[in-house]
Amino acid sequence: MVEVGGRPILWHIMKIYAHYGFPNFVLCLGYRGNVIKEYFLNYDAMNSDCTICLGQKRQIAFHGEHGERDCTVTLADTGLDTMTGGRLKRVARYLDGDEFLLTYGDGLADIDLGRLIEFHRSHGRLATVTAVRPTSRFGVMDIGSDGGVRRFAEKPLIEGWVNVGFFVLNRRVLDYVTSDDCVFEKEPLQQLAGEGQLMSYLHEGFFFAMDTYREYKHLNELWDTSAAPWKVWQ
């Protein structure tokens, strides 16, 4: 619920999905889930003009349209201490169809979800995870034997790829989750990889996760200067 441009980062993530035609959400709530519930329960009142009829025949009429009129949000309490896999298993009853999308609540990207889904369907495996090349937190130096710095790179991309969420999953993936203590990124994904059922979608564009105050400031600066790559909606 930490805000970017006056809106929770969760709102920004949901706007990305809605832009690509996915307006139905299931939120796995845990710590301070009541804050998220209150936000969405009061969403219409806080984002629209309204007329309230007081008294025994209390009624509320909302005026105008906001950009989220066609979205549905299921707010599911998945427990304080439940691990990521357990949270997914607990909301299984709210997932329709044989295919669904899954992501985390702290990262923004300019990912084309249409191309991601097309890639997933093209390979026929059970799961696709989006991967990006990480950026070093520190400047990297190439130092010679005499101690001289031959090359200096400020926070370069480093080798390898990391999981940033934005999954496309077949419903059968739920069978790999065995308990509330199951960490999705451990046994389920490791088993899927071992069986050749996990593919990676390599995203070369923008991705940024907000874990620190510095990252919070950076995302807000991008938004305030109209330079936010993840803002794909109008």
pLDDT, one tens digit per residue, over 150-178 is 666 666 556 788 999 999 999 999 999 99
For the segment 42-91, what is each residue's pLDDT rounded down to a tens digit? 999 898 898 999 887 778 898 888 888 889 999 999 999 999 999 999 99
Residue 230 lies in a domain: no
Contact (CB, 8 A) for 67 and 48 = no
Instruction: State both tokens at 70.
Output: 């066609």
Residue 53 lies in a domain: yes
Total structural domains in the chain?
Answer: 1
Residue 67 lies in a domain: yes
Backbone Cα Rg of the chain: 21
Model pTM greater than 0.85? yes
Residue among 108, 110, 139 nearest 211 (CA): 108
Owner of token pair 């308990």: 179
- Whole-number Å distance between alpha carbons of 122 and 9: 31
List, in sequence order, every beta strand (DSSP E) within the chain.
Answer: 3-4, 7-8, 24-29, 49-53, 59-63, 72-77, 99-102, 107-109, 127-132, 140-143, 149-153, 162-163, 167-170, 198-202, 207-209
| Predicted local distance difference test score (pLDDT) of residue 55 | 81
Give the CA count within 13 Å in the CB-facing half-sphere of 124: 0
Please report, for the domain that includes residue 142, its CATH number.
3.90.550.10
List, in sequence order, every beta strand (DSSP E) within 111-216.
Answer: 127-132, 140-143, 149-153, 162-163, 167-170, 198-202, 207-209
Residue 23 lies in a domain: yes
Contact (CB, 8 A) for 220 and 212 = no
Local confidence band at 143 (pLDDT 50, 70, 90 cut-offs) = confident
Residue 16 lies in a domain: yes
| Residue 75 lies in domain | 3-224
| Predicted local distance difference test score (pLDDT) of residue 124 | 95
Residue 150 lies in a domain: yes
Residue 233 lies in a domain: no
Phi and psi (nearest 5°) for 72?
-120, 140
Whether the pLDDT of residue 138 is over 90: the answer is: no
Residue 229 lies in a domain: no
Mean pLDDT computed over 121-142: 83
